[in-house]
A = this chain, B = another copy of it.
Amino acid sequence: MATLGALKKHKVTIVGSGNWGTTMSKLVAENTKANPTLFEEVVQMWVYEEEITIPKESRHYDAGSELANKPQKLSQLVNSLHENVKYLPNITLPPNVIANPDIVDACKNSTILIFVLPHQFIARVCDNLKGNIVPYARAISCTKGVDVSEKGIRLLSESIGVRLSIYCGALSGANIASEIAQEKYSETTVAYDPPPLDSRNPTPKGSPTSSQVDLIAPSKAIPSSRSARLQPLPSEYPPLSHENVRRLFHRPYFHVRMVSDVAGVSLSGALKNIVALAAGFVDGLGWGDNAKAAVMRVGILEMVAFGKSFFADSVHTSTFTEESCGVADVITSCMGGRNFRCAKMAVQRGISIDEVERTELNGQKLQGTSTAYEVNSFLRSMGKEEEFPLFTAVFNILEGKAKPEQIPDLIEPKD
């Protein structure tokens, strides 16, 4: 639609090159090649440069070569081998993925920035990019999580948008990167509520109501100040409608559903990790599949309630109960995700999650535990702990103030 007459094409950069970032580069590059009227074929992938030696188990390891066991730059390896041997081994990348260690150069003139970075690097990378991108660029955050402080709660997509003064949507789903890299079938949800001039399509298909960007700044969240500064996409570019954004991500093995609920998609990705801990606790008790399914169901409804309470203007129940980012991601996370497995292990061994993190994860913190603490400190400050009995139970179990066995009592509705 509406691509005839477009003089320019969208340049796409993947900001990040870990397991998920490299996978995203692969599928996006397949799509830029398949949609030459919309996108420039070359996809830049920003690589946090490091020196690595090709692992001995790699198909590219050649003991006879003079480069064997010699450290080489990761970006150069990606570009010569068309593989990220460190973070996504054994997956061939399309030749139109170009690794670039210079963040500013990688994003220069890009109209679409796809953020796939660990949470803690986002602020620094945005600081480097600030002022060095086209002012009408649009972003999609594939990183899951929320920023919580005394001031309130902010979606990661919001943080990116505010720091760069651009619009930022979100992608989240039941997505294990290595499975997608192998082209095993999965689904995802992309939330993109396009600024009206971008889509040239006032009511995008499948979107409840098109809305202004500042809709995602809810009453209880940190207010956004950027909508006034948002620059429209120049008309020489193909519009960034739901249809065209979908073409950037959708593959035969990666089915995309577009929604407009950025807050719902972002919250799902963060809150499901608390639910996975609860499911792990109950499963660790040996209570069986009924109990686990019950906890998952209650968890999904608390995710809905959280969205409705604090992002009332923009959140739709169906994002949590009907989309891949909601119900399907909860299912995947509670079948075998890391939060689930560690919580289950803690109960089975009679030790704290803290101890599991120390002994099994080299002290690395689980996403679920940090989110549980952040969400609890936010709920407490709002005086709303009681309205979220499962989230509160998980926090209290982590704190040693409640036991997994109490979960049924704690989450039973009081009449």
A residues sitting closer than 8 Å to B (CB atoms) are: 173-176, 179-180, 184-187, 252-253, 255, 282, 287-294, 296-297, 300-301, 318, 321-324, 327-329, 331-332, 335-336, 407-409, 412
Q: Residue on B with the closest CB to A178?
A: B288
14 contacts between A and B (CB under 8 A): A179-B287, A179-B290, A185-B282, A185-B408, A186-B288, A186-B290, A186-B294, A187-B290, A252-B408, A252-B412, A255-B408, A296-B331, A297-B324, A297-B327
Question: Which of B185, B252, B322 contacts A294 (CB under 8 A)?
Answer: B185
Contact A185 B296 (CB under 8 A): no
Contact B185 A293 (CB under 8 A): no
Q: Residue on B with the closest CB to A296?
A: B331
A14 to chain B, nearest CB (A): 20
A412 to chain B, nearest CB (A): 6
A152 to chain B, nearest CB (A): 28
Contact A291 B324 (CB under 8 A): no
C-alpha spacing A175/B291, complex, angstroms: 9
Question: Which of B291, B327, B335 contacts A184 (CB under 8 A)?
Answer: B291
Contact B412 A329 (CB under 8 A): no
Q: Residue on B with the closest CB to A336?
A: B289
Contact B409 A289 (CB under 8 A): no
Q: Across the interface, which residues of B come within 8 angstroms of A318, CB to CB?
A: 321
Contact A289 B335 (CB under 8 A): yes
Contact B328 A321 (CB under 8 A): no
C-alpha spacing A291/B173, complex, angstroms: 11
Contact B322 A321 (CB under 8 A): yes
Contact B336 A322 (CB under 8 A): no
Contact A287 B322 (CB under 8 A): no
Contact B408 A294 (CB under 8 A): no
Known: A184-B287, A290-B180. A297 touches B282 (CB 8 A): no
Q: Across the interface, which residues of B come within 8 angstroms of A327, CB to CB?
A: 296-297, 300, 321, 327
Contact A332 B287 (CB under 8 A): no
A292 to chain B, nearest CB (A): 8
Contact A328 B293 (CB under 8 A): yes
Given contacts A186-B291, A255-B408, 15 further A-B contacts (CB under 8 A): A179-B288, A180-B290, A185-B291, A186-B290, A186-B294, A187-B297, A252-B408, A290-B332, A293-B328, A294-B324, A296-B327, A297-B327, A318-B321, A321-B322, A331-B331
Most chain-B CB neighbours within 10 Å: which of A253, A300, A331?
A: A331
C-alpha spacing A335/B327, complex, angstroms: 15
Question: Which of B176, B289, B300, B409 contacts A290 (CB under 8 A)?
Answer: B176
